Amino acid sequence: MKIAWEHMLDAIKIFLDVVAEGSFTAVARRQDTAVSSVSRKIDALEVDLGVRLLVRSSRSILLTDAGEEFVPRARRLVAEMDDARHVLADLDADPSGLLSVTVPAAFGRRHVVPALPAFLEKYPLIEVEMHVSDDRVDLAAQRADVAIRIGVLPDSDLVATRLAPLRRLACASPVYLARHGRPKGPEQLVSHNCLSYSSTPLPAGWWHFPELHRKTPLPVRGTLKTDDTETLLEAAIAGIGIVHLASWLVCDAVRDGRLVSLFPQAANGGPQGLPEIHAVRLPGRSHTAKAQLLIAHLKQHIGEIPYWDRDV
């Protein structure tokens, strides 16, 4: 006999607790119930799913292969249900209160802050607390509701919304090109003064070009390396060398002629696939509805074709 949906969800939560604790007894003690009650719920879940999730002995509890596959799906299911409850609870109320957002410094200043006036005008009871940092913030530890992430996302329990592709442009100033000539293709960059990021390994997409150098970064060299992208931008504008920076960072300089985009048609991506710009959030938080409103606003502000990529 199939167990009711609400009982199944409760059984899934019990299953995840048992996996986390590694003990039926610990879960029963925490919930102030009998061990046999916890065991019956796991048994009913296994019957309903038609698979064995746990191998139990007097000394240990081990996940079966099916159990290993089910754990991440079960976590997502519970998180999505919690999300739905929070959103439904907020439907009848005007969005209000604190919304904590963490953004990379350069991107935040250029593209998140300009989007805030319209958002705060539309939702005047929301207060945004913005943390500006290029470090990858742990949302749970920092109690952040939304984070902007740039690059290839690792697998995680975070809910990710794609805001835009990450397109990198090789650029140089007119002064540099007048002195050293304009490379005819990306392969000629190895003969130029290329300014680069000093971290190791390079972030996804840096000095990558399609069908070139076995899809690995070009072995470029240059007289300046730094861990700050805005410093690279200013160095390129000053004529020191060629940079390979995100289009969202160089777009204004290209449009007003301070930089020249050398190969605008050469879309690039690292060996792990095209890096992108995402807004991520933790599922199941009480601020879910407000976080979703901000993410939807950012997505609309940026546009289907990001405004910084138009005519660049």
List of domains in the chain: 5-90 (1.10.10.10), 97-166+275-309 (3.40.190.10), 168-261 (3.40.190.10)
Give the chain's mean pLDDT. 85
Q: Say if residue 1's pLDDT is above 50.
A: no
Q: What is the mean pLDDT of residues 166-171?
A: 93
Top pLDDT among 143 and 111 is at 111
Q: What secondary structure, in 3-state letters, does 106-155 show?
A: HHHHHHHHHHHHHHHHHCCCEEEEEEECCCCCCHHHHCCCEEEEEECCCC
pTM for this model (two decimals): 0.69
The amino acid occupying position 166 is L
Top pLDDT among 77 and 103 is at 103
Predicted pLDDT of residue 286: 61
Span 225-236, pLDDT tens digits = 998 999 999 999
CA–CA distance, 181 with 184 (Å, rounded to integer): 9
Predicted pLDDT of residue 84: 60
CA–CA distance, 119 with 113 (Å, rounded to integer): 10
CA–CA distance, 38 with 48 (Å, rounded to integer): 16
Predicted pLDDT of residue 139: 81
Task: Average the pLDDT over each of 81-85, 118-122, 165-169, 249-253 and give the range with the smallest value.
Answer: 81-85
Question: Per the structure block, which two tokens stand in for 257?
Answer: 């002629």
Predicted pLDDT of residue 272: 42
CA–CA distance, 14 with 20 (Å, rounded to integer): 10
Which residue carries 């990198």 as its tokens?
Answer: 168
